[in-house]
Structure 1
């Protein structure tokens, strides 16, 4: 029987589900206060709820193949009905289920799983499935820096809505907050590599990326710098012109040879970056944590506020690679960016600087 069912929608979530499984396969210790013995990989299964974006689907396929090689059962579901013939082929060599029958089967699995692992507690689809669960244990793994916001919302008992979203919270977001809130009959675990303060009664377990470090690398370290791309333009938070100007300045000042594109970055934007900087545009096949660990990687990594300023220092510890963080200033923001945007990005930067000792690059002098 499936002891733990993971629901994931992105490569990062799938990677962190694997890290959770690896962590629990090592022994009985769980977080600060210990816990029940680990179940290991026996009875661990991952359900991939596929997105529409083809780049994300390709990364999920590559990472799902690695998971299957580790003996983890991975099943693909296509609730959004991907484009044409890609629907069942997106996770090559793995089971693919589409349509109402597939979703009905997933609903049954969610209802029966004693432990449910959530890759994105903000996801509308996962929030819709969550009320079906009777699991005595709920685990939330990192979905990037959104974990910081999730922990804060759970502490305050507020609906689970991402920081850059506008408008009235949905009923599902309100129900999800209650479902993940304090309950004497249910255990909540937060598995995170970030300095997220868990809500009262929740168990906090550190994600040290042990599986990634053991499985890959150490990498070959190259001269010069790599620039890590951001989707802040695509999510409507910062203006395209300000972002392009800063990227161009960073590339010239730090001898950037490669630009690692975020999976959501628009091709037209990437073409403009290539023309302005002369840098090679790299579309990673796997999450950056794995790409950087298996190498090659430049000796200096430049990044905007994002998840990787927290995760890559862990993954690359002891390799000699240095990270520099380019802060986002108020004049970067679009007129429609939420009031929370700048403070959230500042919090991401401040916590990474204090935890990992990164060098801060001013956006004015970048």
Structure 2
């Protein structure tokens, strides 16, 4: 496959790569209705199992979607890299071309990657990206000449991206509180032209570019931006249905690692959840630290599971508990789609404002409440401060 013939996908995490595969599957199954649907993503999941065709997925077999040319820009942490390699194998099995391009881990790595990707990025007629907040991806977007730009889900960050795009604001992640002193402000000023160009790429309809967001999140598109629903049709067609266990599974979060939630409050909340719901397993987020997970195991007796694939695939493949409990995170929006029709109940435990750290972004409380409050087909569990106090 030549660069000029490829749809180029730029992904940096296992979830982004999964959702690039989901987009290719949905695009192939729904190619007759290619035009962007302006408005909001439907909030009801598909409650029936995807039709399985011999040798293929729901709504089409292999070849129903044109192969992607996927460039993986891996982070440095081992868990993410391991999951990305597993996802890359699945992508190759689907007939997509996958290229591993190191862009971190050394002073020259970003420049070498940029030189290696310039021709492909400029030649692509369609570019699929997983993280519009990534500074490296924003740099690559300044080179894009494609007629179509697609943003696939990077979890709940998609909600923040839509909100910022609608307001014309800088593309900065919600949990960043700012700061960094004078050096940080200088870096921001120096980077501003790149960030501004990237932001305009998503609103450049007047230049004849189609912009689409492929998402499971309950969002409303700003004018000129199309939405396509991600109902995890590829995942449902390739995996499961899962065997259900009698117990409850807990889903971990990296809110402690990002400085949003106090570590002691989080440990107490997990202990309370395990006791209240009889949980036996804890599915760790790939960014959770080993020390934190060790403390959780010792304090709760939970079996700590470090998945080798995104949780949507792990849960769909099974075995999985009849109830899955999570704090506000991506999975309270994606698991109801991935596990549709299996009988699994997904529950969300809200974050008590008392758990937030002093360094948490001013937007943290409202954003986390929005993530929990907009989740569909989930059971809502209030945060009980008394049970989780230190």
Q: Is the shorter-chain TM-score for this pair beyond 0.5, marking a shared fold?
A: yes
Match of 2:329 among 306, 311, 317: 306
1:166 Cα deviation after fit: 2.8
> Who is 1:91 aligned against?
none
Where does 1:196-345 land on structure 2 (aligned, <5 Å)?
196-345=219-368
Q: CA deviation at 1:100?
A: 5.0
SS of alignment partner, residue 20 of structure 2: helix
How large is the RMSD of aligned CA atoms in angstroms?
2.0
Which of 29, 32, 40 lines up with 2:33 in the alignment?
Answer: 29
Deviates more, 1:221-230 or 1:161-170: 161-170
Deviation (angstroms), 1:165? 1.3
Contact 2:74/2:81 (8 A) holds in 1 = yes
Partner of 2:176: 165
- Matched with 1:86 is none
* TM-score, normalising length: structure 1: 0.90
Q: Is the deviation greater in 173-182 or in 125-134?
A: 173-182
Change (3 A) 1:213 1:103: same
Q: CA deviation at 1:312?
A: 0.2
Report if aligned partners of 2:37, 2:228 keep a CA contact under 8 Å in 1.
no
Per the alignment, residue 382 of structure 2 pairs with: 361
Q: Give the match for residue 92 of structure 1.
A: none
**TM-aligned CA deviation for residue 363 of structure 1:** 3.3
CA contact (8 A) 2:346 2:377 kept: no
Aligned length: 347
Counterparts of 1:43 and 1:241, CA distance in 2: 47
Change over 3 Å in CA distance of 1:349–1:99 after alignment to 2: closer
Q: Give the gaps of 5 or more residues in structure 2.
A: 39-59, 179-184
State the alpha-carbon separation in 2 of the partners of residues 182 and 103 from structure 1: 23
Matched, 1:178 2:181: no
Aligned residue among 11, 16, 19 for 1:16: 19
**Stretch of structure 1 that moved more, 182-191 or 10-19:** 182-191
Per the TM alignment, residue 176 of structure 1 is displaced from its structure 2 partner at its CA by 1.7
Deviations 1:15-62 (A, max 9, x none): 00000001111132236649xxx9953342110001101110000000
Separation in 2, partners of 1:99, 1:200: 34
Distance verdict in 2 for CA 1:165–1:102, change over 3 Å: closer
Give unpaired runs (5+ residues) of structure 1: 83-97
Partner-residue secondary structure (3-state), 1:132: coil
More divergent stretch after superposition (41-50 vs 192-201): 41-50
Deviation at 1:105, TM superposition (A): 2.4
Task: Tell me, yes or no, if the aligned pair for 2:350 and 2:380 is still in contact at 8 Å.
Answer: no
Specify which of 112, 118, 121 is matched with residue 132 of structure 2. Answer: 121
> CA shift at 1:102, angstroms?
4.7
Higher relative contact order (CA 8 A, sep 6+): 2
Instruction: Tell me which moved more, 183-192 or 305-314.
Output: 183-192
**Alpha-carbon distance change, 128 to 100 in structure 1, aligned in 2, over 3 angstroms:** closer
